[in-house]
Amino acid sequence: MSTTTSAVRSHAEAVQVSRTVDYLGLFILFMVLTGSYHIHGMLTMGDWDFWSDWKDRRLWVTVYPIVMITFPAAVQAVAWERLRLPWGATICILGILFGEWVNRYFNFWGWTYFPINFVFPTAAVHMAIFLDVVLMLSGSFLFTAVIGGLGWGLLMYPGNWPIIAPLHVPVEYNGMLMSLADISGYHYVRTGTPEYIRMVEKGTLRTFGKDVAPVSAFFSGFMSILIYFLWHFVGRWFGTVKFVKKT
Amino acid sequence: MKTIRDRLTRWSLVGLLMTLAAAVMYTPTASAHGEKSQAAFLRMRTIHWFDLNWSTDQVGVNEEMEISGKFHVFEGWPEAVDPPEVSFLNIGIPGPVFIRKESYIGDTFVPRSVRLEIGKTYTFRVVLKARRPGEWHVHPMLNVEGGGPIIGPGKWVTITGSFAEFRNPVTTLTGQTVDLETYNEGNIWFWHVLWYAIGVAWVVYFVRNPVFIPRLLMVNAGRGDELITPTDKKVGMLFGAATILLVIFGYSSAQSKYPVTIPLQAGVLRGIKPIDMPAPTVEVKVDEATYRVPGRAMKMVLTVTNNGDRPIQLCEFMTASVRFMNPEVCEDESGYPEDLLADEGLTVVPNDPIGPGETKTIEVTASDAAWEVYRLSDIIYDPDSRMGGMLFFYDDAGNRQIVIVDAPLIPTFM
């Protein structure tokens, strides 16, 4: 067989080869995203995602969407532009959540015995599906950046509230008011993570009374729009074929 | 070519076998906290832990133990370390083998960071509840923002029983008692599995059809728009609407189920009260302090003036949690960790009592393998070569006088 002859001899064989390429490609894509997006996530929003006593209504809401819209924007740029596949964001989030759950279950719980209710990751599939659906229905990266990016930021907190609300029930503990999440952070000793490292409830956003989360979410949404544009071009640059010689 | 391939295969196999053998035959447990690796000056010149007491060294799962004592915030706090304006009383254990039930500095409950004053002495108490069976090295610890962890002496404590029997009940202000060990886990799994399943369904819907090659060819042929069918758009709208509705439903049901919630609590606790240490009636001037590298010994020449009304003798020199005891004067009866106790490590010449009103020059030598074992001899490589520590004098009635010393340290190599 030379380079100019076909590797397959029939249509059925071509279909079979094509599907094999699909499954191999999907597996590789999923595992590469699991690893690379996971590293990116841990380096940028690590502790906010690790611990329930970091999941606050200000910084978690702000930081998580901004730093996590990166890979979805880049993968969408390639998957939609080259293949018209509308699941670029969702595959990223499924990958990182798979990696995070493996890490939290086997490492945080199985190895160091932190309870799962203290170390669960942030739910983000709803944000990713929204981003993908907006891209598919609009077919426009500009529209996806503005509406999808804003929705990405806005949906994060309400989508996670059913998971974290039970941990925000108040407790009077040795004369101090603490949430159950605060008590988890106090009880389950993190020798290398002293309390002052915790970046929660900091900032000057005090003019909206107790309704801080929506303002943080809007800010996060606006920033997500900008980061979406930036990482869209990272994706295009990463997905270029101009260095491949045409035969 | 075949020879190279065979060699590669053979050596890869050898490498794999060696890796497996190394992993199987040598898997030590990391059970301490790298306390010996901390720079010597950090341990000698920041926090001095003393009068420590571990209530027990064996405890069953669900039972409590207590570590209590005092710490002095050293006057000669090094320039390289930020002052302890934001500090956290922590506990050095390998993961949550205990849970920390309570911790106090003075009488103040300190679940959060505190501000401490240099030159002051504080009492502390930490109550721990045993969680995971095993033998664990348990240290008091103070984390200082800009300085890192300053770890105190560690003692081995054995936890017996079964981890499965551990319970952590907490009663909320809404009157519900929950086991914090497993509370909310079902809810967490439910939402994560549900969303993950929806995400997988979204991807699988499109992966049913060819994914890469045919789609790439279609897009390259300018027929990309044909790849998204009207049905695909309807499915997309369905997923989008279902996602938003599920978020709204989840949020509102959580709001109605948990109407009373509070934000996470944070902030530095100020106004922590130190204890009043009685002013010592002993004055000590360090005339000279040298560290003899080959002999693992630190020698101090001290001019001691006894302004009290009873004769005194030097009992102990303590630095970096290592206690050098003068055996002719006193011995430790507190069960202090053996590796940190040089029970014959202090030589005083002359070792006679110093009478009331008397001034005497004494030569004090603190020598023990602990200098090397605890890597305190590395102080000669520090950027600010000074030593610091506490001297404990006792009079003939058993009264204690504590004097802090802080002086330049000169190494000798002969």
Residue B365, domain CATH? 2.60.40.1580
Q: Once rounded to an integer, what is the mean pLDDT over residues A87-91?
A: 98
- Among B174, B205, B225, the domain boundary falls at B174
Of A70-74, A151-155, B99-103, B207-211, the one with minimum mean pLDDT is: B207-211
Q: At A86, is the pLDDT very low, low, confident or very high (cuts 50, 70, 90)? A: very high
> Does B169 lie in the same domain as B217?
no
Residue B125, domain CATH? 2.60.120.570
The whole-number pLDDT of residue B21 equals 77
Does B187 reach chain A within 8 Å, measured CB to CB?
yes
Using CA coordinates, name the residue in chain B closest to A169.
B261
Between positions 200 and 229 of B, the ones with CB within 8 A of A are 200, 202-203, 206-207, 210-216, 218-219, 224-225, 227-228
- Residues from chain A that touch B264, judged by Cβ atoms under 8 A, are 53-56, 168, 179, 181-182, 200-201
> Does B408 lie in the same domain as B307?
yes
> Does B168 lie in the same domain as B41?
yes
Highest mean pLDDT: which range of A12-16, B146-150, B218-222: B218-222
CA distance B94 to chain A (A): 8
B266, A137: Cβ pair inside 8 Å?
Answer: no
> Does B234 lie in the same domain as B165?
no
Q: At B375, is the pLDDT very low, low, confident or very high (cuts 50, 70, 90)? A: confident
pLDDT in tens, B247-290: 999 999 999 999 999 999 998 898 899 999 888 999 999 999 99
CA distance A241 to chain B (A): 12
pTM for this model (two decimals)? 0.89
The whole-number pLDDT of residue B24 equals 65
pLDDT at A80 over 90: yes
Residue B84 in domain:
yes
> Does B239 lie in the same domain as B157?
no
The alpha carbon torsion through B75, B78, B79, B85 (nearest 10 deg) reads -60
Of the partner residues B170, B192, B218, the one whose CB lies closest to the CB of residue A171: B170
Of B12-16, B29-33, B355-359, the one with minimum mean pLDDT is: B29-33
The whole-number pLDDT of residue A38 equals 96
> Does B208 lie in the same domain as B129?
no
At A177 the three-state DSSP class reads strand
Using CA coordinates, name the residue in chain B closest to A25.
B212
> Does B228 lie in the same domain as B310?
no
The whole-number pLDDT of residue A93 equals 98
A22, B185: Cβ pair inside 8 Å?
Answer: no
pLDDT at A2 over 80: no
Of the partner residues B101, B180, B215, the one whose CB lies closest to the CB of residue A184: B180
Which position has the higher pLDDT, A53 or A2? A53
Asked if residue A162 has a cis previous peptide bond (ω within 30° of 0), the answer is no
> Does B194 lie in the same domain as B167?
no
The whole-number pLDDT of residue B32 equals 57
Domain membership of residue B293 as a residue range: 282-412
Does B268 reach chain A within 8 Å, measured CB to CB?
yes
> Does B158 lie in the same domain as B54?
yes
Residue B28 in domain:
no
The whole-number pLDDT of residue B28 equals 55
Which position has the higher pLDDT, B292 or A230? A230
pLDDT at B29 over 60: no
- Residues from chain B that touch A179, judged by Cβ atoms under 8 A, are 261-265
Between positions 24 and 43 of B, the ones with CB within 8 A of A are 33
A126, B113: Cβ pair inside 8 Å?
Answer: no
> Does B333 lie in the same domain as B396?
yes
B199, A21: Cβ pair inside 8 Å?
Answer: no
- Among B148, B174, B200, the domain boundary falls at B174
Q: Give the number of domains in chain B.
A: 3
The residues, ordered by sequence, that sit 6+ positions from B360 with a Cβ below 8 Å of its Cβ are: B303, B304, B350, B354
- Residues from chain B that touch A90, judged by Cβ atoms under 8 A, are 199, 202-203
Does B88 reach chain A within 8 Å, measured CB to CB?
yes
The alpha carbon torsion through B52, B56, B62, B67 (nearest 10 deg) reads 0
Of A132-141, B17-26, B354-363, the one with minimum mean pLDDT is: B17-26
Residue B337 in domain:
yes
> Which of B37, B227, B239, B265 to mutate against chain A (most A CBs within 10 Å)?
B265
Q: Once rounded to an integer, what is the mean pLDDT over residues A115-139?
A: 98
Using CA coordinates, name the residue in chain A closest to B167.
A115
Task: Please report which helix (H) or strand (E) contains residue A144, including its range.
Answer: none
User: What ipTM did this prediction achieve?
Assistant: 0.95
CA distance B61 to chain A (A): 14
Residue B250, domain CATH? 1.10.287.710
CATH class of A13-238: mainly alpha
CA distance A158 to chain B (A): 6
> Does B408 lie in the same domain as B299?
yes
